[in-house]
Amino acid sequence: MRELICITCPRGCHLVVDDNKNVTGNFCPRGVTYAISEVTHPVRVVTSTVKLTNSVYPRVSVKTKDPIPKSKIGAVMEEINRVSLKAPVKIGDIAIQNVLNLGVDVVVTKNIDK
Amino acid sequence: MDNLSYDIIVIGAGVIGSNIARVLSEYQTRVLVIEKDNDVCARASMANSAIVHSGYDPVPGTLKARFNVAGNKLFPDLCKRLDVEYKQIGSLTIAMSDEDMVTLESLKERANTNGVPVEIINHDRLLELEPNVNPKAKGALLAPTAGIVDPFTFCSHNMENALDNGVQLHLNEFVKNIEDHQDYFILKTNFATYTCRVVINAAGHGAYSLGSIFERFDYKITPKKGEYFVLDHYAPGLVNHTIFPLPSEKGKGILVSPTYSGNYLIGPSSELSLANDHSTDPATLAMIKAGALELVPSIPFTELIRVFAGVRAAPTDHDFHIAPLKKHPNFIHLCGIESPGFVSSPAIAEYVVNELVKPILNFAKNNNYNPTVRPRIHPETMKDEARKKLIASNPDYGEIICQCEKISKGEIIDAMSRSDHPHTIKAIKKRCRAGFGKCQGGFCQPLVARLISEYYHIPLTQVVYSKLGSNIVRYRTKGDNDD
Amino acid sequence: MIKKHYDLVVIGGGSAGMAGAIEAHKLGIKNILIIDRNDYLGGILNQCVHNGFGLTEFKEELTGPEFMTRLSDEVKALNIEYVLNTTVTSILPDKTIFASNREGYHIIKAKAILVTTGCYERNAGAIMLPGERPSGVITAGTAQLYLNVYGYLVGKRVFILGSGDIGLIMARRLTLEGAKVLGVAEICPYSNGLNRNIVQCLKDYNIPLYLSHTVSDVKGSDGRLLGITISQVDEHNNIIPGTAKGFECDTLLLSVGLVPNSPLLRDAGVELSRNKGAIINERYETNICGIFTAGNVLHVHDLVDLVTKESRLVAHYINEYLKGNSIIDQIYRPVVAGDGLGYVLPHKVGTHPLDEVTFKFRVRRPVKDVNVIFYEDNQTIKSVFKPVLIPSEMTEITLSLDELKQFKQTINVKLEQKQ
């Protein structure tokens, strides 16, 4: 059994998912969809920064282009922390291709000329 | 003994030590000031009411009365030549009852004895001068010679003037022991051992224990904390004078005053505390608020930008101690300099140097003494054309760092280029007012930290807020080495 | 080169300023200048590297820097004039603007001004944080700048006071960058952040949230934070004795609210409301004709998408003003916020509004199943049912011109529990 707060709308229903994936506590059907996906395959977009050289700014922001499994956040951060880019960089530049073979790239989210 | 390290060592760079250093620099004598904090004006001299009291209030015949009255007279000219903001706005001590009005008469008598001009004004005149004062007030004692001052620059520019005229200052240095070898002292600090003829103990809260190395005193110091509110400068005309309640046993009471920067200061409380306890607590602040609202009912506490506490070194016998030690006449001991210490400081300094030290060392005038400090430039108060010219000659004055107080990069660089240069965020705040406004450095602190880092060539992780160890950012991320 | 005259000067080149300038340009105002103090356009979004922006504005989920770049690319594509590294030091009621930068001190005349200077963070002084004042006590946004733009951690053992979204977002960012976040204390009995952030920034990382708790003491040594104490509070926010919990930490992040950054407006003579934003009519015009305001300097928004939407609407009214369609001699009907409502915008509505008016408000505490009622005397003019309203989410309700016509003296707004 797991307890969740629904994030689909401001109401924030307190959901309970039992071992048979029955959802209770939801005000509307969207709560069920949210709860099932959270207990079966929770995913998150990771946003962070990477080192940047050749710039007055020592960091540039990045994100995983698509959500990755929640369980992989720590491992992806370790990869992100190893990367160093050189200015100029622009939005969409690939910082890490196919990070940890998850099929997702880590991409730059800011334009920095110098 | 010849070849002494210094003629005079001054311990402490608060408002007393800084003034003494300045007056000493008028003479041909070798002076070292040692200060345990990393800036001048770091303790009680920093956190107080910053009022240049008129001097009507101290008991006649006390050192407090003598130096307050004398110090008050020195402030206008001294502030002018040291480029310190000072305004003689006068003070009003408010009587809330007929009984209080009788007390005002006795205060007036005391003022007459102290030689301080005062006037008792009635309800109507009071409300004319101060429309926001509680309309229930019966009248007030007007002391026109009271003033307000920028306490930080006052200390700093006293020290700057001393340094410009040859005094040396060591920060982050504290005395571990002093030995009296009759015609000289050996003074051991955390850094070095010095010899000197005269020691001037202006160590504030530390003065008592330093003096106790040589002498047992028949008084004690009981640190008393005072907490304050600071309001933003968006209520012009809330009060035009420093507003006091009637003085009581505990002191001058909770005042409401404009400050040199147009802010409002409300406080202080008076509670027994430890000397280094600068904490604030909600119950005390609530008490101050209630007291202040009694004087001025419309104080806009929604404009609150900061609360702070200062600690007075209050002597149990209620008077200053300024004298050579009995058996060690070359050790000048200054202790228990609580309020009105700030206003008294220039007069105390003249007395100490001219009456106590000069007879010992018999030094000559320093003919190269420069009585002024380099004036500061504040673009925001300049006329448009002058400001344009200034920026054309130095673009740093066009770059605004502190949005709230409109302080330019040029002003901060100028402060760092002076002899009494600031090393910390707080030291810059004290000298330039960057970070003094409503965002309290939320926006400018990172910019000021980077300026310090660049100017002194230290990594950002080494930039401190105030004391040593108060680093703002401690670690680089992602395994980077310090830049 | 800054010119001496503009039709519209936009002060603050963040999301509100850029969206306003873009919309104004599209409406036909060509002589526009945006002034910003930073060395880029985009304001605070530059340091908001997390995602969740743009779902309504661009119909996709973007990070802060991506969102601001979409807008700044458009500003540049439209050739809207902008000047960076420039601080407006004051404005006068006659719409003279004084601006300072390294090139000089500039005096600019504008026909209309849009002030979009954002907000600042409420800090330790303003909340009378008890105890000592060591370093390590820092507002969440300042810590965010140090972390996301410069690459520094304030400390490694962090406690957070206030459950505002910046604090929650920082809880996750600090955790990902190797700091230990010990907990978040919130004085209210409910969170002030979005549920999404409670889940994805706290619960994902097992960071405890202490509701009805506040920091009751701060301890430092040699100027550096050593630890804090939190205590539970009662319904009057008074500390309940015996509930103290201590935490050893080197950092206390404050996420205790944002305040409109409105001193420029105030110094110009603009009347401010209790929340420090300007008092505005339905056209987002202040008491000074031709000075308009939008975004977080007016009222703090929960989403940047709402900021840009507001600013675009204001651009429309600026255009009407510049075309001479401002009705100066109209009589204003004050908008009165009833119990349970923090504020309602606009503060007043003229007798001749140009369009329907969207009222924006926040509740003071979470409520369920309420009717939001617009009324005068005993007459309900509009009633809208809301299943849930929470303080951290702004609500909008639009009244038509016909509905607005029915109000004579005042427009009252109240909440009523649905039976």
* pTM for the model: 0.96
The answer to whether residues B240 and B307 belong to one domain is yes
pLDDT per residue as tens digits for the range C54-106: 988 999 999 999 999 999 999 999 999 999 999 999 999 999 999 999 999 99
The answer to whether residues B228 and B143 belong to one domain is yes
Domain span at residue B339 reads 6-45+152-219+318-361
The answer to whether residues B117 and B228 belong to one domain is yes
Q: How many domains does chain B have?
A: 3
Give strand pairing partners of B92.
B142, B243
Among B187-191, B246-250, B447-451, the range scoring the smallest mean pLDDT is B246-250
Compute the nearest-CA separation of B478 from chain A (Å). 5
Is pLDDT above 90 for A23?
A: yes
Residue A10's pLDDT is 67
What is the CATH number for B340?
Answer: 3.50.50.60
Residue A14's pLDDT is 87
User: What is the predicted ipTM?
Assistant: 0.96
Residue A7's pLDDT is 85
Residue B435, Cβ density class (10 Å: 0-12 exposed, 13-18 middle, ≥19 buried): buried
On whether any CB of chain B is under 8 Å from the CB of C236, the answer is no
Instruction: Choose among B379, B446, B480: nearest Cβ to C145.
Output: B446
Chain B positions in Cβ-Cβ contact with residue C11 (cut-off 8 Å): none
Among B166-170, B200-204, C131-135, C176-180, the range scoring the smallest mean pLDDT is C131-135
CB B310 within 8 A of CB B231: no
Residue B249's pLDDT is 75
If you average pLDDT over residues C2-24, what whole number do you get?
97
Is pLDDT above 70 for C263?
A: yes
Task: Name the token pair of C394.
Answer: 């702004």
Residue A11's pLDDT is 73
Q: Which residue of C has its CA nearest to A14?
A: C195
Domain assignment present for B80:
no
Residue C374's pLDDT is 98
The answer to whether residues B227 and B348 belong to one domain is no
Residue C239's pLDDT is 94
The answer to whether residues B210 and B277 belong to one domain is no
Residues of chain C with CATH 3.50.50.60: 1-121+257-326, 123-256
The answer to whether residues B118 and B238 belong to one domain is yes
Q: Cβ contact (<8 Å) for A7 and C390?
A: no
Higher pLDDT: B248 or B206? It is: B206
Q: CA distances (Å), B38 to each of B92, B143, B169, C154, in order? A: 37, 37, 11, 21
Is pLDDT above 60 for B307?
A: yes
Cis peptide before C346 (omega within 30 of 0): yes
Q: Give the length of chain C.
A: 419
If you average pLDDT over residues B74-97, what whole number do you get?
98
Residue C236's pLDDT is 93
The β-bridge relationship of strands C213-221 and C224-232 is: antiparallel
Compute the nearest-CA separation of A20 from chain C (Å). 23
Q: Cβ contact (<8 Å) for B470 and C155?
A: no
If you average pLDDT over residues C159-182, what whole number do you get?
96
The β-bridge relationship of strands B185-189 and B86-87 is: unpaired
Q: Cβ contact (<8 Å) for C263 and B307?
A: no
| Catalytic choice (B53, B205, B241, B321) | B53
pLDDT bracket for residue C330 (50, 70, 90): confident
The answer to whether residues B290 and B346 belong to one domain is no
User: Taking an 8 Å Cβ-Cβ cutoff, which residues of chain B contact chain A?
Assistant: 477-480, 483
pLDDT bracket for residue C1 (50, 70, 90): confident
B233 is catalytic: no
Spatial CB neighbours of A113, under 8 Å, sequence gap ≥ 6:
A87, A88
Domain assignment present for B56:
no
Which residue matches tokens 């530049």? A93
Percentage of chain C exceeding pLDDT 70: 99
The answer to whether residues B169 and B198 belong to one domain is yes
**Cα B45 to Cα B338: distance, rounded to the nearest angstrom:** 10
Residue B483's pLDDT is 53
Spatial CB neighbours of B309, under 8 Å, sequence gap ≥ 6:
B47, B225, B226, B227, B228, B268, B277, B278, B279, B280
User: Taking an 8 Å Cβ-Cβ cutoff, which residues of chain C contact chain A?
Assistant: 46, 49-51, 61-66, 69, 147-151, 173, 176-177, 194-196, 198-200, 203-204, 387-390, 392-393
Percentage of chain C exceeding pLDDT 90: 90
pLDDT per residue as tens digits for the range A36-71: 999 999 999 999 999 999 999 999 999 999 999 999
The answer to whether residues B234 and B124 belong to one domain is yes
Compute the nearest-CA separation of B441 from chain A (Å). 21
Chain A positions in Cβ-Cβ contact with residue C200 (cut-off 8 Å): 7, 44
Q: Cβ contact (<8 Å) for A51 and B483?
A: no
The answer to whether residues B133 and B232 belong to one domain is yes
If you average pLDDT over residues C119-137, what whole number do you get?
94
Q: What's the whole-number average pLDDT of chain B?
A: 96
Q: Which of C46, C105, C150 to mutate to test the interface with B (most CBs of B within 10 A)?
A: C105
What is the CATH number for B402?
Answer: 1.10.10.1100
Residue B250's pLDDT is 73
Q: Cβ contact (<8 Å) for C66 and A70?
A: no
Residue B1's pLDDT is 56
pLDDT bracket for residue C393 (50, 70, 90): confident
Give strand pairing partners of B337.
none
The answer to whether residues B287 and B207 belong to one domain is no
Is pLDDT above 90 for C406?
A: yes
Domain assignment present for B472:
no
Cis peptide before B340 (omega within 30 of 0): yes
Q: CA distances (Å), C376 to each of B326, C335, C352, C373, C410, in order? A: 83, 10, 18, 10, 7
Chain A positions in Cβ-Cβ contact with residue C177 (cut-off 8 Å): 48
Compute the nearest-CA separation of B479 from chain A (Å). 8
Chain C positions in Cβ-Cβ contact with residue A47 (cut-off 8 Å): 49-51, 63
If you average pLDDT over residues B259-283, what whole number do you get?
94
Is pLDDT above 90 for C230?
A: yes
Is pLDDT above 80 for C190?
A: yes
What counts of helices (H) and strands (E) characterise chain C? 8, 28
CB contacts < 8 A, A to B, total: 10
Neighbours of chain A (3+ CB pairs under 8 A): B, C
Last residue of a domain, one of B314, B334, B369: B314
Chain C positions in Cβ-Cβ contact with residue A46 (cut-off 8 Å): 176
What is the CATH number for B235?
Answer: 3.30.9.10
Helices (H), B84-235: 98-114, 123-129, 151-164, 207-211
Q: CA distances (Å), A82 to each of A92, B262, B476, in order? A: 19, 51, 14
Is pLDDT above 80 for B482?
A: no
CB contacts < 8 A, B to C, total: 152
pLDDT per residue as tens digits for the range B320-337: 999 999 999 999 999 999
Compute the nearest-CA separation of C341 from chain A (Å). 17
Q: What are phi and psi of A71, to 5 degrees?
A: -70, -15
Q: Cβ contact (<8 Å) for B391 and C142?
A: no
Q: Give the length of chain B.
A: 483
Domain assignment present for B21:
yes
Residue B251's pLDDT is 77
The answer to whether residues B186 and B263 belong to one domain is no
- The Cβ of residue B122 has, within 10 Å, a number of other Cβ atoms equal to 14
Domain assignment present for B127:
yes
Which CATH fold topology does C123-256 show? FAD/NAD(P)-binding domain (3.50.50)
Domain C1-121+257-326 is in which class? alpha beta
Q: Is the dihedral of CA C174, C176, C177, C183 positive or negative?
A: positive
Q: Which residue of A has its CA nearest to C204?
A: A70
Domain assignment present for B367:
no
pLDDT per residue as tens digits for the range A89-107: 999 999 999 999 999 999 9
**Cα B66 to Cα B344: distance, rounded to the nearest angstrom:** 8
Compute the nearest-CA separation of C135 from chain A (Å). 24
Chain A positions in Cβ-Cβ contact with residue B479 (cut-off 8 Å): 81
Q: CA distances (Å), C29 to each of B75, C111, C113, in order? A: 57, 11, 12
**Cα C12 to Cα C113: distance, rounded to the nearest angstrom:** 11
Domain assignment present for B308:
yes
